[in-house]
Amino acid sequence: MVKSIITGAAGFIGSHLVEALLKQGEEVIGIDEFNDYYNPALKRQNIAHLQNHPSFKLIEGDIQFLDLQTLLEDVDVVYHQAAQAGVRASWGPSFRAYTERNINATQVLLEAAKNAKNLKRLVFASTSSVYGNAETLPTQEEICPQPVSPYGITKLAAERLCRLYYKNFGVPFVALRYFTVYGPRQRPDMAFHKFFKAVLQNQTIPIYGDGEQTRDYTFVSDAIAANLAAATVPKAVGEIFNIGGGSRVVLTQVLDTMEEVVGKHIKRNHIEKAMGDARHTAADISKAREILGYQPQVSLKEGLTQEWYWVKSLHT
């Protein structure tokens, strides 16, 4: 039986990954700190239905202070999803949380991984934020990263650490640069969750800037499929992959699609552009398609519909 560790197991993507691995018949150890970046009760709710699963064990704690050496002894795959997320919150005094949880925690995990005899793969959750305002769209993995937020800087540093440990100690890492993942269990500070909640409460949606910014939106089940492939495809070791939704969409178009999903007009209020937000993101996913067999399956409208039902169930 394959044994995996998922860090950030109770989070948005982590909890979906736990579910997918248990469905495949794997043994899963979940690690989560349940910090207060957003309401820990939401994270507990994400994995409540899995708590009594015979193949799942949840460890509560900070990665930096766990006995990782022992935990990793007979583990086949580590999915390192845990991170301090949020572009806008990474400025100012909260930056320390980003260096601790994105850089230091990753280094501690890599130190343990280099001595783990059975480890076949360490899949690192990276982000499109490492690109910043990319010079070319869609963006290929080879382009020079130029983060425009402190968050992006810390994620790039962690990704580079993974590569160092691969080059020097043979840690079999794969990095996945996620492009704006959405869907059920999305964090409450993320746009779609906020927008749908505002619709339910009949509030105006705040739009940063002119609304003409574009994003590559990736449904959560597609991100999970990418993780499962990254953990098993031999050619993936040592590689970095863009994981996008396959199409770049203007924010105003997204809101139009949301109106179709919710069946009513959405009130919009334009506010000042946010610091650290890239103007456009678009993933060139040809490398992931070729090596991982990655192919996004869920359209934006279908994905938004699923998230809308989930947000309604959460807030009504």
Task: List domains and CATH numbers for the chain.
Answer: 3-182+219-244+283-296 (3.40.50.720)
122 closest CA partner among 237, 32, 8: 237
DSSP letters of 266-295?
--EEEEPPPTT--SB--B--HHHHHHH---
188 closest CA partner among 40, 19, 27: 40
Note the pLDDT tens digit of each residue in 252-302.
999 999 999 999 999 999 888 877 788 899 999 999 999 999 999 999 999
Residues 131, 151, 165, 217: which is the catalytic one?
151
Question: In sequence order, which residues have a C-beta less than 8 Å from that of residue 310 and are 6 or more positions away?
Answer: 183, 184, 185
Q: Where are the beta strands (DSSP E) in 14-161?
A: 27-32, 56-60, 77-80, 121-127
Distance (Å, whole) CA 111 – CA 165 = 8
Note the pLDDT tens digit of each residue in 184-232.
999 999 999 999 999 999 999 988 889 899 999 999 999 999 999 999 9
Interval 42-46 mean pLDDT: 97
- For the question of residue 151 being annotated catalytic, the response is yes
* 150: preceding bond cis by omega (within 30 degrees): no
Q: What is the CA radius of gyration of the chain?
A: 19
Decide if 163 contacts 122 (C-beta within 8 A): no
